[in-house]
Amino acid sequence: MASHAVSSGQKPHVVCVPFPGQGHINPLLIVAKLLHAKGFHVTFVNNVYNHNRLLRSRGPNELDGLPSFRFESIPDGLLETDGDKMQDLPSLCEATMKNCLAPFKELLHRINARDDVPPVSCILADGMMSFTLDAAEELGVPCVIFWTTSACGFLAYLYYHLCVGKGLCPLKAVSEAHRAKLASAIILNTFDDLEHDTIQYLQSILPPVYPIGPLNQLVNRDINKDGEMGRMGTNLWKEDTKCLDWLDTKSRDSSGVYVNFGSITVMSAKQLVEFAWRLAATGKDFLWVIRPDLVDGDAAVLPPEFLTTADRRMLVTWCPQEKVLAHPAIGGFLTHSGWNSTLESFCGGVPMVCWPFFAEQQTNCKYCCDEWEVGMEIGGDVKREEIHAVVRELMDGEKGKKMRDKAEK
């Protein structure tokens, strides 16, 4: 491929490539919106599976885009699966490494052959999609890598290989973190003052590293939420906005609990029941997000006796989380410690009960609990007594009050 320079008068054209997971697509879309607002032409590239899910969840015209903001898709080589659920993560990680480069290069060829869009001038890719570095090198354009993790989580990936010994490491994120050194620049969705020391260290060993978060606050400031760009979304499940009306009927004294374990975390049927009983026993109002694929290999079935909590709980399959965490009825967040959720909890001033699942979530949990003092952890085996004790301490205890004060600060 020949290199294409941007002539004067032409918009710079950024091609954005998220990893095919909800928690990766959303923040990169925010960056894409912000760049579009600064004058960029944007092409946003999902995998085919998620492109089709978005059409189902948001409507057949949702991805029509705007003249200067277009959606495209590339195959990942995996067979289509039934239902609206996350593709098998290990298979997806392997597939993106092995199968996405060729169709992505073909897409870049097609884009640059068009007369109605400016030539591609840069690529902005998720850190887990480092095949884009090879395509950018061949095209002769810079490739900026966007890590959706915390700075401390990203640093852990850089050094994880020291914990597992020499040789090949099975974690895709680790190998991709090392490839990040080939990027033109690295951006992180984090607060500089929250992770200042970690960011300074990363800046001393890597290409230029820029903390640009929290992105949800930037997009709320710079993008009109009622305009076409503001309404453009990428939720793979249909949002139930009735939960906000339900919260409006509750006390506005931060006494309610919000429960959401993110877009990938799965649990056993037994763990689901344990969480249900302990949430019921707290006596608090609670909003619980139960995805269709939350329970591993089975449907999410709650015990019949749980119906007695109907007057003080609402169950939804997905919701506008940022608005929920900003609602004055919510005073605690039971979370998987994903970085997007952690940032949104910070921005809402809501302390957390942390139940980390995988990847860098354990690192985020440790920092929330030990360094930033805005969280409390529960064990992985989900014991009833522990859930009850920690949630009650968060909501009513002295430690919970201190965490709330810290979160608000």
* Whether the predicted pLDDT of 4 surpasses 60: no
CATH of the domain at 390: 3.40.50.2000
Q: Do 363 and 215 belong to one domain?
A: no
Q: What is the pLDDT of residue 2?
A: 44
- Per-residue pLDDT tens digits for 206-261: 989 999 999 988 988 888 887 888 888 778 888 899 999 999 999 889 999 999 99
Across 99-116, average pLDDT? 96
Confidence of residue 168 (pLDDT cuts 50, 70, 90): very low
**Residue 273 burial (CB < 10 Å; 0-12/13-18/19+)?**
middle
Q: With contact defined as beta carbons under 8 Å apart, do 266 and 293 qualify?
A: yes
The dihedrals phi and psi of 302, each to the nearest 5 degrees, come to -95, 150
Asked if 322 and 247 sit in the same domain, the reply is yes
pTM above 0.75, yes or no: yes
Average pLDDT, the chain: 89
Instruction: Give the per-residue pLDDT at 87.
Output: 80
Give CA separation, 190 vs 154, 175, 196, 236, in Å.
11, 22, 10, 24
Query: Which of these ranges, 105-114, 225-234, 313-322, 353-362, has the smallest mean pLDDT?
Result: 225-234
Residue 374 resides in a domain: yes
Would you say residue 2 lies in a domain?
no
Classify 52 as helix, strand or coil. Answer: helix
Q: What is the spatial distance between Cα 330 and Cα 349, in angstroms, rounded to a whole number?
A: 10
Has residue 5 been placed in a domain?
no
Give residue 18's pLDDT: 97
Residue that wins the pLDDT comparison between 57 and 326: 326
Does residue 6 form part of some domain? Answer: no
Of 78-87, 92-101, 188-197, 274-283, give the lowest mean pLDDT range.
78-87
**Domain boundary residue, one of 231, 254, 272:** 231
What mean pLDDT do residues 152-166 have?
Answer: 81
Residues 28 and 172 in one domain: yes
Query: What is the tens place of the pLDDT at every residue in 281-312?
Result: 888 999 999 998 899 877 788 877 777 788 89
Same domain, 224 and 254: no
Residue holding tokens 């930037």? 218
Asked if pLDDT for residue 6 goes beyond 70, the answer is: no
Q: Is residue 99 part of a domain?
A: yes
For residues 84 and 30, membership in a common domain is answered with: yes
Say whether both 225 and 262 belong to one domain.
no
- Top pLDDT among 55 and 31 is at 31
Same domain, 225 and 245: no
pLDDT digits (tens, 9 = 90+) for 339-349: 999 999 999 99
Number of domains in the chain: 2
- My answer on whether 245 and 213 are in the same domain is no
Using alpha carbons only, give the angle 4, 113, 27 rounded to the nearest 5 degrees. 70
What's the pLDDT at 112?
97
Strands 143-147 and 313-316: what pairing?
unpaired
Q: Which pLDDT score, from 0 to 100, does residue 235 have?
A: 80
Alpha-carbon gap, residue 299 to 38, rounded angstroms: 45
Per this entry, what is the length of the chain?
409
Instruction: Look at residue 90 and tell me if it is in a domain.
Output: yes
- Pair of tokens at residue 61: 């015209």
Residue for token pair 């890719």: 125
Domain co-membership, 226 together with 260: no
Whose CA is closest to 330, among 351, 315, 308, 316? 351
**Percent of the chain scored above 90 by pLDDT?**
61
Q: Report the pLDDT value the prediction gives residue 399, as an integer from 0 to 100.
A: 93
Higher pLDDT, 386 or 247: 247
- Higher model confidence: residue 354 or residue 159? 354
Q: Cα(73)–Cα(255) distance, rounded to whole angstroms?
A: 43
Residue 115 has pLDDT above 60, yes or no: yes
Query: Residue 177 and residue 63: Cα distance in Å, rounded?
Result: 31
Domain-ending residue, one of 205, 231, 257: 231
pLDDT at 3: 47
- Which token pair is 380? 């992985």
Nearest to 45 by CA among 13, 85, 84: 13
Task: Quote the domain boundaries for residue 33.
Answer: 13-231
Cα distances (angstroms) measured from residue 85 to each of 265, 295, 343: 11, 11, 24
List the single range of 115-119, 146-150, 405-409 with lowest mean pLDDT. Answer: 405-409
- Look at residue 54 in the predicted model and tell me its pLDDT: 82
CB-CB neighbours of 270 under 10 Å: 11
Q: Find, among 231, 228, 232, 188, the residue nearest to 211 by Cα.
A: 188
| b/e sequence 217-252, b meaning 16+ C-beta within 10 Å | ebbeeebeeeeebeebebbbbebbeebbebbeebee
Q: Please name which of 390, 406, 366, 351 lies closest in space to residue 152, comparing C-alpha atoms.
A: 366
| Predicted local distance difference test score (pLDDT) of residue 243 | 96
Predicted pLDDT of residue 287: 96
Give me the residue label for tokens 């064990």: 379
Last residue of a domain, one of 231, 255, 279: 231
Do 106 and 130 fall within a single domain?
A: yes
180 lies in the same domain as 76? yes
Cis, peptide link before residue 103, omega less than 30° from 0: no
- Helix crossing, 22-37 with 215-222: angle to 10°? 40
Task: Please give the full DSSP string across 162-188, using - where no structure is assigned.
Answer: HHH-SS--S-HHHHHHHHGGGSSEEEE
Cα–Cα distance for residue pair 300/251, rounded to 1 Å: 29
Domain for residue 1, yes or no?
A: no
Report yes or no on 121 lying in a domain.
Answer: yes
- The yes-or-no verdict on residue 379 having pLDDT over 80 is no
| C-alpha span between 394 and 7 (Å, rounded) | 57
Q: Are residues 262 and 361 in the same domain?
A: yes
Q: Given this model, what pLDDT does residue 384 score?
A: 65
